Amino acid sequence: MKDFGYAAPKNVGEAISLLTELGGHGKVIAGGQSMLVIMKQNMLAPEFLVDIKGISELDYIKYDKKKGLNIGALTTHRTIERSPVIKETYPVLSEMEDNLAVVQTRNWGTIGGNLCHGDPAGDPTVVFIVLNARLKIRGTAGEREIDIEDFYKDYLEVDLNPGELLVEIQVPPPPPHTGSAHNKLMVMKGDMGIVGAAATITVNPADGTCTGARIALSNVASTPWRSRAAENVLIGKVITGELLAEAGRAASAELEPPADVHGSSAYRKEMAELFVRRTAETALKRAQAQG
């Protein structure tokens, strides 16, 4: 690893001033669970690290029935996984965190660090996409909010300007009769997903039609991938087994996944089809179970 300068500001204000002063020469480290690995490979060699891990004002989970869920960017994966209010109101997030990585990594890694790393294989992003989440970003000029879907620009590249910090993830309350699910192909529980899928389905209990669907995939493109093609197969129809299979095929058809030691492009395409079908089926069952 190359040498770098280092400072650990005490609060968000100080962190933003320092990042602004550094211009493009500063890089933020939170838990560093993904970043240190690529720094050791010299894939990333920042001149200066701004360590925000100790900023406690960004470590929180707030829930309000009308406004939804607000998670501070420096909340650890473990805190999210174990949060009673998240288990109760957004169980898909606990489900995702439980599979995210081994416990040592979940204990130290933060949700904001994970999102800003911009790895298309990351699990939280696809779950937040199907939960329709927004990100709150703070800089010297003030705050802005964006759809999480628009945050991802390319492999390991996100929409953050020098001097900006992701401060919060906002998840709206789910509409009634809505279910969400996440699953990924992994050799061992906690491994990085070779392909992952998340789905949210809303049904009209009167006639059983699907009134809303959001489907997203991880590790199939250079950014997290939302599959509107698969969603469009389901919306407005009564979902059957055949329709779920068709949604899987629609998602897979538009992909040209990367190949690596874990799977060829063709294998990932097949797995994308399977995981979209299965995940959407679980989400549908959960939506229907709400009566």
Partner 1 sequence: MNDELKELRFSVNGKPYELKVKPKALLLDVLRKELKLTGTRTGCEVSACGACTVNLDGMAVRACSILALQANGREVVTIEGVADGDKLHPIQEAMVAHGAIECGFCTSGMVMSARALLLENPKPTREDIRRAVQGNMCADSGYVKYIEAVEIAAKKMQGGE
Is 29 a binder of partner 1 (CB under 8 A)?
A: yes
Between residue 146 and residue 175, which ones bind partner 1 under the rule CB under 8 A?
Answer: none
Least Å distance, CB 47 to partner 1, is 7
Residues 6+ apart with CB under 8 A from 287: 177, 178, 179, 201, 202, 203
Percentages (nearest 5) of helix, strand, coil residues in the chain = 40, 25, 35
The residues that bridge with 134 in the sheet, in sequence order, are 147, 170
User: Does 9 contact partner 1 by CB under 8 A?
Assistant: no
> Using the rule CB under 8 A, which residue among 11, 17, 56, 104 binds partner 1?
104
Smallest gap from residue 33 Cβ to partner 1 (A) = 6
One character per residue 30-49, x = contact with partner 1 (rule: CB under 8 A): --xx--xx--x------xxx
The angle, 0 to 180 degrees and rounded to 10, between the axes of the packed helices 241-253 and 265-288 is: 140
User: CA-to-CA distance for 168 and 101, rounded, in angstroms?
Assistant: 22
Nearer to partner 1, 40 or 153 (CB): 40
Find tokens 């994308």 and name the residue.
Answer: 272
Using rule CB under 8 A, residue 99 touches partner 1: no
Here's the x/- map for partner 1, 190-219, by CB under 8 A: it reads as: x-----------------------------
Give residue 227's region: left, alpha or beta (phi > 0; psi -120 to 50). Answer: beta
194: which 2 tokens?
């070779």
Residues that bind partner 1 (CB under 8 A): 1-6, 8, 29, 32-33, 36-37, 40, 47-49, 51, 53-54, 78, 102-105, 107-108, 188-190
